[in-house]
Amino acid sequence: MNLTEFEHIAQRLRPKLISIAYEFFENRDDAEDVAQEVLLKLWLRDTSPDDNIEGLAVVATKNLCVSIWRKRKRQTTVAIDDYNPDTSSDEEADKNIIVEEQQKKIDDAINNLPRSEQRLIRMKQEGGLEPEEISSITGIPLQSVRTMISSARKKLIKQLKQ
């Protein structure tokens, strides 16, 4: 595909890709970023005239949205207030800094726990596993898993209050 063909395809696909990403993130900037990245991948990809470029672009957009969402979900374990479009970018930056600081405090507190409790609390909090799943993975009896997680949480709360 030459540059002229790509520009024509990009102009036609871009609004559709932005729309798909916007439905996913409900954020215009994120949608623009996703569309831009997908179009770049299309440009770098060796395509033939027989390829369904629109279908490929739609699937790539959805996959990229899911990947970004998963990455953000792993990084964001501390909840923040719902996004308020009336806030300024400075306020958003301040919120992000506060969230990062809170997450660092939580990570440090988890690192101060005994290794067995660290492992269980990470499986529960970061991995999203239920006590039954943790029990089957670790071989620790279910009631012991629940007790250890409860104990770890109490220790975390105590450390974070200091």
pLDDT digits (tens, 9 = 90+) for 82-106: 545 555 567 777 788 888 888 888 8
83 found inside a domain = no
Q: For residue 133, what are the domain limits?
A: 89-161
Residues 68 and 30 both lie in one domain: yes
| pLDDT band, residue 2 (cuts 50/70/90) | confident
* pTM metric for this prediction: 0.46
**Angstrom distance (rounded) from CA 21 to CA 133:** 33
Q: How far is CA 145 from CA 76, 94, 141, in A?
A: 25, 37, 6
**Angstrom distance (rounded) from CA 91 to CA 86:** 10
Residues 18 and 66 both lie in one domain: yes
- Sign of the C-alpha dihedral, residues 132, 137, 141, 143? negative
34 found inside a domain = yes
Residues 123 and 147 both lie in one domain: yes
Average pLDDT, the chain: 83
Residues 98 and 49 both lie in one domain: no
